[in-house]
Each structure stands twice: as structure tokens, then as C-alpha cells.
Amino acid sequence: MLRVGLSGGIGSGKSTVARRLAELGAVVVDADVMAREVVDLGTPGLQEVRKRFGVEVIGADGGLDRAALGRLVFTDAAARKDLESIIHPLIAARTRQSFAEAPREAVVVHDIPLLVELDRAADYHLTVIVGASEQVRQERLVGDRGMSREDALSRIAAQATDAQRRAAADVWIPNEGSRAALTAAVDDCWSLRIAPFNDNLLTGARSHLPAPVIEAYDGTWPAQAARLTARIGAALGERAVDIAHIGSTSVPGLAAKNVIDLQVGVRRLADADDAGFVEAMAAQGFPRVAHITSDSPKASMPDPAAWAKRFHGSADPGRVVHVHVREAGSAGQRFALLFRDWLRDNPAERAAYEQEKRRLAAQSSSTTEYAAAKEPWFDDAFARVEAWARR
């Protein structure tokens, strides 16, 4: 089951996107619907809200006056936190039940307005954010929903910023144009990313780069690595000693293949072979690649055991990831960290490495061939890295 977190600021068009995803076959779990249900007439949730906020938020029929409650909590941060403490546990329980009832092969889209504010991105295989400028959203709230401009501004201000949403987004769907353009963007996201991701998740397949293409440094790589690290951390818990962003995409300014390399440190490599470890990684979208079990030993440290590892890929077709699982303190784990920091600290070595990467990529027909061709350069650099570390 692929879990997709869908969010966006108020007035962004998130609900329109959710409806289109449902039409395409997704099971949509709507947090707003659940938020209404848990405070319906006669529920314990409504009783708790009345106790905290008083009769002024209760309508003539005895039910919740949502407009009155909204005016209160969107201008008072403390009141908003109190409301969240009441309804969020109730919503969470219903959400877990809805996910559990969905078929194994389903794509489950969690339509959750506060995904970013609650720091929930690690709960999903993929986060999709619908984006529109504050000005556009303000005009929609005033024109389409009849809010006052003051009310619209206060609600927008109470939510996450666009910068915070972009940092949480695996997929950003812009919505400042026509309905047809939005529908086309959602359809592309479904056919190119979501549906094949779910297929890969169900079959244990991983994504690959078709060729070793070197790209200019992308400033979003660290944020992407942070999201992936959080997901792996959520899957493994204390089984991971640490999780680090390594490889070329972790070095600011360095051109690289568009592959995020992560390193998971474990206490013993045998821990990575435990069925629970392998299953947790696969369920989170990182299937084991069984035939990769070692790095190439270096001449000064020839013992193959020091370079043993386990390897996982990513089932996401839109984000190739290599997860290297190494024993904490092993030669392989140490070199990966030192090599990254050495390149960060030495502009001349970084430039030389980039030149070599571009040269080898141009003459390699596959990423496997490219990786093998780099090994002599790594062997030569190993002594320089160790000397730098000693200094």
C-alpha cells in the first residue's frame, strides 16, 4: 500500500486535487471530514470542545458553530493548540482505522491540511503539496468562500509558509492557472510517479538511472535527503545507529548523478540481515538489493570484511536512492563520511573529482560501468583522504 500525504495552504486547491486522485483510483482519507465527524452532535469530542471554549461556539441546534470556533482559534495560537489537543488524537485513531481497512494494493491518499505544521512527512512514502501564492489564495477565500479579507489573511498567516511546504514536498503541484492545467498536472503525477511507485512497492522493484548523466549541483538535494532520512529513521527506529547523507549530492557545489546516497550505520552488520530490518525497509519503499554485499577494499586495508555492507534502492521512480548499510566503525562506513567531508573542505580536490566524473560518465554506457570506472580514482584518493583526516 502506497501512502501519499497530500497538503497545501488554505485556498490552494488541495481538495480539487484530492477529488481528481479519487477519480483516478486512489482511496482518499480526508482529515477535514474526520475533523468534522469527531465533533458531531452527541460525540465526546464536541463535549470536550464545549468544556474548553464555552457555549459561544455551540449553535442553536446544539451542534458546533464552526465559523465561531474558526474565528477564535485562527486569531489565538493558544486556543488553536488547545483545540488540536482535543481533536487530533480522535482524528488519528480514525485515520489509522481507515488505512488499516484499505486494500493492500491501494494507493491511499491522506488529505491532511496540517501535514507540514505537524511535521508528518515521514509518515508517507510520498508528500504531494499543492501550491499557490498567498495573493491567489487570499482572492479565492474572499471571492469563492465569502470570507472577509482580514479573516482570510489571519487563516493564511496561521499556517506554514510556502518555504516550509516546499521543504516538505516530494512533488509540488502549482495551481495558479486553469482547472484544466491543474487536472493535467495531477494526471501526470499519478501516471508518472504515484502509480508506478505503488507497482514497485508491491513487487519489490527499485528505480534506476538509465545512464550516468552528470548534472549541475541541485540546491534541493539536502532537503530531499533530509526527507528520506526521516522516513528511514521512522522505519528502523533504534536499529539504526545513525543515518547520513553521503556521496556527491551531499557536497555543496559538486556536479553529480541525480542519485541521493544515504548511509545507515548499524551496530552489527548481522542486524541488517534480520527479517524485521529488511521488511521494514521494503515497506517504507526501500527494497533490498541482495547481490550487492561489499565495497571495493583499499590497498592499505585489504580485509574484505571491513568493507562489507548491505544495499537498498528506492521504489520511487521519481527519486533514485542508494542506501548503503554499514557497520558503525567499519572501514567502509568511515571512508564514506571522510570522503564527503574531505571534498567539502578541499575545493581543488572537489574540482578534480568533478572533472574525472564527467570524463568517465562520457565514456560509460551504464551506471554500473561508470561506478566500476571510478574505483581506481577512489583507490588513489584514499591515502589523501586519510592524510587529511589525520591533520
Q: Check whether 12 is labelled as a binding-site residue.
A: yes
Residue written as cell 589525520?
390
Q: Check whether 15 is labelled as a binding-site residue.
A: yes
The x, y and z cell numbers of residue 326, run together, are 554499514
What does the alpha-carbon distance between residue 317 and residue 289 come to, in Å, rounded to a whole number? 16
What is the DSSP code (8-state) at residue 122?
G
What does the alpha-carbon distance between residue 338 and residue 344 come to, in Å, rounded to a whole number? 10
Bridge pairing between strands 126-131 and 171-174: parallel
What is the identity of the amino acid at 361? A
Q: Check whether 13 is labelled as a binding-site residue.
A: yes
Q: In what order do the strands lie in the sheet with 260-266?
A: 242-246, 260-266, 321-327, 310-312
CA 210-214-215 angle, 5° bins: 110
Question: Could you tell me which of 78, 79, 114, 92 has the C-alpha nearest to residue 34?
Answer: 92
Give the CA radius of gyration of the chain.
24
List, in sequence order, every residue forming a beta bridge with 30; answer none if it has no partner. 111
Q: Check whether 14 is labelled as a binding-site residue.
A: yes
Q: Is 346 in contact with 388 (CB distance < 8 Å)?
A: yes
Half-sphere exposure of 126 (CA within 13 A, CB side): 26
Give the annotated binding-site residues for ATP. 11-16
Q: Residues at the annotated binding site?
A: 11-16
